[in-house]
Copies of this chain bind each other. A is one copy, B any other.
């Protein structure tokens, strides 16, 4: 399936280190009789629970999916599952894993040596990388080009410098599990993440929010784009009934 390089899509994350790769879905995105197999599964699951007239009466499956989401009948959405392969900096991974419902397999810095890949913000990102005043947890205030460049240089130098120390410690015989503790949280990790559509919607609602960190929003937007081709009716219902704030 498709692997989306967030950098190429947005020109901001700096290179191909960051990606969201939709590895698999259950069911598939194939269209049959005006609906994808994945969207149809939602209807099938709903028809098991509300086997009565009401559901049968709704001939329009798109409307039924909207009805379900609007009325918080969320369990049918749990039968659609996705597996993603994601490469992301540790500070983003730490926000992501707060969503406890998924299954994660993350690269281990105890088993193997981490690669020399760090997330470095671009100039475009840094120009709006000042501390926000109202939103204590965010950025958004404008920085001068000089300060932005200074920050980029510092982050880059720090990344290069600590990676050298990491390698020196390993060469001296220090265990990987100890040496890695000097690495900063903008180093890249990667994982397999499997989740269901309802929990994915919950993730998207929080991580597309303007209060979410800009970097995690890039991932959330890539996921939204990829998932929208699998369950287009469900994601339209999501836009209508769950996600109503602007995302930037």
Contacts and interface: CB of A to CB of B under 8 A. Distances in A.
Interface of A: 24-27, 41, 44-46, 48-54, 72, 75-76, 78-79, 81, 83, 85, 89-91, 93-94, 97-98, 100-101, 103-113, 119, 121, 126, 129-132, 136-141, 143, 147, 150-151, 154-155, 158-159, 162, 165, 168-170, 172-186, 190-192, 194, 196, 206, 213
Contacts of A191: 48-49
Nearest to A76: B105
A174 B130 contact: yes
B137 A111 contact: yes
A112 B173 contact: no
Contacts of A159: 182
B173 A121 contact: no
Please state the number of chain copies in the assembly: 4
B48 A190 contact: yes
B131 A173 contact: yes
In the A-B complex, list the 10 residue pairs whose CB atoms are closest, starting with the nearest: A52-B112, A139-B175, A26-B26, A78-B103, A181-B186, A110-B137, A52-B111, A100-B100, A50-B111, A131-B175
A147 B175 contact: no
A111 B54 contact: yes
